[in-house]
Protein backbone atom coordinates (compact mmCIF):
# COMPACT_ATOMS: atom_id res chain seq x y z
CA UNK A 1 0.00 0.00 0.00
CA UNK A 2 1.23 3.45 -0.91
CA UNK A 3 2.43 5.52 2.05
CA UNK A 4 0.71 8.91 2.14
CA UNK A 5 3.45 10.96 3.76
CA UNK A 6 2.52 14.17 5.55
CA UNK A 7 5.04 16.71 4.26
CA UNK A 8 7.40 17.86 1.53
CA UNK A 9 10.86 16.48 2.28
CA UNK A 10 12.48 19.64 0.91
CA UNK A 11 10.48 22.61 2.29
CA UNK A 12 8.46 20.76 4.97
CA UNK A 13 5.16 22.08 3.63
CA UNK A 14 2.14 20.05 4.81
CA UNK A 15 0.79 17.69 2.17
CA UNK A 16 -2.42 16.23 3.60
CA UNK A 17 -3.91 13.14 1.92
CA UNK A 18 -6.29 15.17 -0.26
CA UNK A 19 -3.59 17.58 -1.45
CA UNK A 20 -3.31 17.89 -5.21
CA UNK A 21 0.17 19.38 -4.78
CA UNK A 22 1.89 16.19 -3.58
CA UNK A 23 4.36 14.55 -5.95
CA UNK A 24 5.94 11.12 -5.45
CA UNK A 25 8.68 8.98 -6.98
CA UNK A 26 8.49 5.19 -7.26
CA UNK A 27 9.90 4.87 -3.72
CA UNK A 28 7.20 7.17 -2.32
CA UNK A 29 9.67 10.00 -1.72
CA UNK A 30 7.25 12.90 -1.37
CA UNK A 31 7.67 16.56 -2.32
CA UNK A 32 5.41 19.50 -3.15
CA UNK A 33 4.76 20.52 -6.74
CA UNK A 34 6.58 23.84 -6.25
CA UNK A 35 9.81 22.17 -5.09
CA UNK A 36 9.59 19.56 -7.86
CA UNK A 37 9.17 22.25 -10.51
CA UNK A 38 11.47 25.01 -9.27
CA UNK A 39 14.22 23.27 -7.26
CA UNK A 40 14.30 19.57 -8.12
CA UNK A 41 13.39 19.87 -11.81
CA UNK A 42 11.73 16.47 -11.74
CA UNK A 43 14.79 14.74 -10.21
CA UNK A 44 14.19 12.88 -6.96
CA UNK A 45 17.17 13.78 -4.72
CA UNK A 46 17.05 10.36 -3.07
CA UNK A 47 16.89 8.03 -6.08
CA UNK A 48 17.30 10.12 -9.24
CA UNK A 49 13.90 9.14 -10.63
CA UNK A 50 11.09 11.38 -11.83
CA UNK A 51 7.83 12.34 -10.13
CA UNK A 52 4.12 11.93 -10.70
CA UNK A 53 1.13 13.45 -8.88
CA UNK A 54 0.24 11.41 -5.80
CA UNK A 55 -3.15 9.72 -6.18
CA UNK A 56 -5.89 10.74 -3.76
CA UNK A 57 -7.13 7.96 -1.47
CA UNK A 58 -10.93 8.10 -1.17
CA UNK A 59 -12.18 9.54 2.11
CA UNK A 60 -15.37 7.49 1.79
CA UNK A 61 -15.33 3.71 2.12
CA UNK A 62 -16.78 2.75 -1.27
CA UNK A 63 -15.38 -0.78 -1.15
CA UNK A 64 -15.03 -2.78 2.07
CA UNK A 65 -11.99 -1.77 4.11
CA UNK A 66 -10.67 0.74 1.59
CA UNK A 67 -10.75 4.37 2.64
CA UNK A 68 -8.58 6.94 4.30
CA UNK A 69 -10.14 6.11 7.67
CA UNK A 70 -9.51 2.36 7.26
CA UNK A 71 -6.05 2.79 5.72
CA UNK A 72 -4.80 6.04 7.28
CA UNK A 73 -2.08 8.31 6.02
CA UNK A 74 1.38 8.23 7.59
CA UNK A 75 2.05 10.83 10.28
CA UNK A 76 5.84 10.43 10.24
CA UNK A 77 7.41 13.60 8.85
CA UNK A 78 10.45 13.03 6.68
CA UNK A 79 13.29 15.44 5.99
CA UNK A 80 16.16 15.59 3.52
CA UNK A 81 18.82 12.88 3.52
CA UNK A 82 21.39 15.09 1.75
CA UNK A 83 22.32 18.73 2.13
CA UNK A 84 20.88 21.27 -0.26
CA UNK A 85 24.18 22.01 -2.01
CA UNK A 86 24.77 18.33 -2.71
CA UNK A 87 21.20 18.03 -3.99
CA UNK A 88 21.71 21.00 -6.33
CA UNK A 89 24.71 19.26 -7.91
CA UNK A 90 22.82 15.98 -8.15
CA UNK A 91 19.84 17.68 -9.81
CA UNK A 92 22.11 19.54 -12.21
CA UNK A 93 23.67 16.28 -13.37
CA UNK A 94 20.29 14.68 -14.15
CA UNK A 95 17.72 17.37 -14.95
CA UNK A 96 18.42 17.28 -18.68
CA UNK A 97 18.13 13.49 -18.87
CA UNK A 98 14.57 12.25 -19.30
CA UNK A 99 13.44 9.94 -16.46
CA UNK A 100 12.99 7.09 -18.92
CA UNK A 101 16.69 7.42 -19.86
CA UNK A 102 18.17 7.75 -16.36
ZN1 LIG B 1 8.29 21.62 -1.05
ZN1 LIG C 1 12.98 8.79 -4.99
Q: How many residues does the chain have?
A: 102
Distance 98 CA to ligand 1 centre (A): 21
Distance 5 CA to ligand 2 centre (A): 13
pLDDT digits (tens, 9 = 90+) for 49-84: 999 999 999 999 999 999 999 999 999 999 999 999
Give me the pLDDT at residue 21, please.
98
Mean pLDDT over the full length of the chain: 97
Give me the pLDDT at residue 30, please.
98
- Cα gap 76→92, rounded to integer Å: 29
Give me the pLDDT at residue 81, please.
95
**Range 2-22 average pLDDT:** 98
The fraction of the chain above a pLDDT of 70, given in percent, is 100
Amino acid sequence: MLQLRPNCEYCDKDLPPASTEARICTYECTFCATCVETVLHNVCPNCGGGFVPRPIRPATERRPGLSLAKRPASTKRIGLSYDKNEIADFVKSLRDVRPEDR
